[in-house]
Amino acid sequence: MSNATSVKEVDGILRRQGTFTGHSPSNSDRVSAWRKLGGLHDRAFTEPEVVQGNWVITRSLCDRCLPSPMGGHARMSDRGWVCLKHKRWLGDHTQVDLKDFGEVVVAERHWRASLTQRGIVVDCPLVLLAEEAATVGISKTVLEQRADRCKDPSPALLVYPETVRLARLLSRPSFLDSMLGTEPAAWKRATVEREVSMVLPDALDAEAWRALARVWQFVLDLQDVVRDGHLLGTLPDDRWNVLRLWSGFPKFQSAGVPQVDQLM
């Protein structure tokens, strides 16, 4: 804290004063007391632990928003890895200035405009899949050019624009509907190839086919989960937590087994 008093010491003082008695960090009286001490709004310390089935991790806050020797950490479910106010990357131990890397800032705006609305949070399985696909499929020349534009870049930072675009694709309701609909498998495969190539164009020093393979396997696995759910009479439970965005999910239990073209 700014007066060199630790959080533990302040908690001890508040307990001796009878402000609260519990030792849990989430104790309601403790939370209320800390709000008053900091003159904070009523939403402070109320960020949920889970959003739409996705765990919200505790992470570092922007060191420009919260200048302090001790730094700060919080759960934030409404944003990706970028502080838009100060244009800083927050996804690593070392925060990075993005003044020369506008694509990442634009990607963050897209995240907040679409992924946040879909209940997608950082480090959730879908985002990790998108990041992996982007990492293996992007052009090495593009990576090198981006690395020259910012200090101490991490792999996750360099592929953030593609990660966000792929995460938006894989969680897009219309994409899920088309992949789990009755269209022929060949059409679905062609659709996936087209969509992935728009995010990760093929190049001599790129292996976009590796990204395509991961997205295609994602589609195959979703179809298997849906088919098994129908056969077992249970709601489908996918590890990426995206079937909740599929239009067929609400009526899943009452509908018959769909005639989904077998993907090969």
Strands (E) located in the chain: 50-51, 54-55, 58-60, 73-75, 82-83, 88-89, 96-97
Judge contact between 32 and 50, C-beta under 8 A: no
Judge residue 188's burial from the number of C-beta atoms within 10 Å of its C-beta, 0-12 exposed, 13-18 middle, 19 or more buried.
buried
Ramachandran area for residue 12 (φ above 0: left; ψ -120 to 50: alpha; else beta): alpha
Average pLDDT, the chain: 87
Mean pLDDT, range 74-78, rounded to an integer: 90
pLDDT at 263 over 70: no
How far from chain centre, in Å, is Cα 90? 13
pLDDT band at 259 (very low <50, low <70, confident <90, very high): very low
pLDDT band at 151 (very low <50, low <70, confident <90, very high): confident
pLDDT band at 167 (very low <50, low <70, confident <90, very high): very high
Q: Among the listed ranges 63-77, 113-127, 211-225, which one has the minimum average pLDDT value?
A: 63-77
- Helix, strand, or coil (residue 70): coil
pLDDT at 234 over 90: no
Residue that the structure tokens 């709000």 belong to: 35
Judge contact between 161 and 143, C-beta under 8 A: no
pLDDT tens digit string along 10-66?
Answer: 777 778 777 777 777 667 777 777 677 666 666 556 678 889 999 999 998 898 887
pLDDT tens digit string along 102-112?
Answer: 999 999 999 99
Please report, as a single letter, which amino acid is at residue 247.
Answer: S
Nearest to 247 by CA among 169, 177, 183: 177
Instruction: Give the separation between CA 247 and CA 264, rounded to whole angstroms.
Output: 23
pLDDT at 178 over 90: yes
Nearest to 119 by CA among 44, 173, 157: 173
Judge residue 227's burial from the number of C-beta atoms within 10 Å of its C-beta, 0-12 exposed, 13-18 middle, 19 or more buried.
middle
Computed on alpha carbons and rounded to an integer, the radius of gyration of the chain in Å comes to 22
Mean pLDDT, range 230-237, rounded to an integer: 84
Q: What is the pTM of this model?
A: 0.82
As a whole-number percent, the residues of the chain with pLDDT over 90 amount to: 61
Residue that the structure tokens 């995240």 belong to: 111
